[in-house]
Amino acid sequence: MAFEQLKLSSQLCFRLYSASRLVTQTYNPFLDKLGITYPQYLVMMVLWETDNQPVNDIAHKLLLETNTVTPLIQRMEKMGLVIRTRGMVDSRQRIVSLTKEGKSMEKEAAKVPQCMLNHFSKCGLSKEEVFQLVPLLDKLIDSLKDHTKDNFEDEVEEK
């Protein structure tokens, strides 16, 4: 290999990507019992924390585009978990609210984080090690989320 820095094993991005995929896959058996997918679980957590939110606020909290979240919410509406209503101030805005079924799912979903910690423990990762990851990942996310590719144009050099 001509460029050592291009080895997959040298890439932070690949480690983060792999960890994200594996963690998401680990959630699947727990979420299957609830009848929802991982992205739907994220939306539900946003709404369990604060119900009756505009679609764009939900998207912002999940670091996603509105056009990614809208079809997800539409599917959740068909499942009977949420309803969408027009905004009172701006009728173009869609407010997402939990249904009775969506609210009742919260109690069972509250078991998922502990199940995940138990699973990590079985895989050899202690609770303390998991909790050590949180501030580092938060720092990484916070430092990157306000910077778009436009902010880094001067750092990209053509060779």
Question: What pLDDT, on a 0 to 100 scale, did the predictor assign at position 148?
Answer: 63
Question: What pLDDT, on a 0 to 100 scale, did the predictor assign at position 82?
Answer: 99
- Cα angle, residue 119 at apex, residues 116 and 125 outer, rounded to 5°: 105
Percentage above 70 pLDDT, the chain: 92
Query: Residue 35: CB partners within 8 Å, gap ≥ 6?
Result: 79
Domains and CATH numbers, the chain: 25-104 (1.10.10.10), 111-144 (no CATH)
Question: What pLDDT, on a 0 to 100 scale, did the predictor assign at position 25?
Answer: 97
Question: What pLDDT, on a 0 to 100 scale, did the predictor assign at position 152?
Answer: 64
User: Could you read off the pLDDT of 14-55 as tens digits, one per residue?
Assistant: 999 999 999 999 999 999 999 999 999 999 999 999 999 999
Of the listed ranges 87-91, 140-144, 155-159, the least confidently predicted one is 155-159
What's the chain's average pLDDT? 92
Contact indicator for 120, 130 with CB cutoff of 8 Å:
yes
The span from the CA of 119 to the CA of 107, in Å, is 20
Establish how many alpha carbons lie within 13 A of residue 124's alpha carbon, considering only the half-sphere containing its beta carbon. 0
The span from the CA of 34 to the CA of 44, in Å, is 11
Scan for tokens 């001509």, then name that residue.
Answer: 2
- Structure confidence at residue 157 as a pLDDT band (50, 70, 90): low
Question: What pLDDT, on a 0 to 100 scale, did the predictor assign at position 98?
Answer: 99
Scan for tokens 């998401």, then name that residue.
Answer: 24
Is the predicted pLDDT of residue 114 greater than 70, yes or no? yes
Q: Which residue has the higher pLDDT, 51 or 9?
A: 51
Task: State phi, psi for 57 to the nearest 5 degrees.
Answer: -70, -40
Is the predicted pLDDT of residue 143 greater than 60, yes or no? yes
Amino acid identity of 36? I
Q: What is the mean pLDDT of residues 96-110?
A: 98
User: Cα separations (Å) of 42 from 4, 5, 117, 139?
Assistant: 38, 35, 18, 20
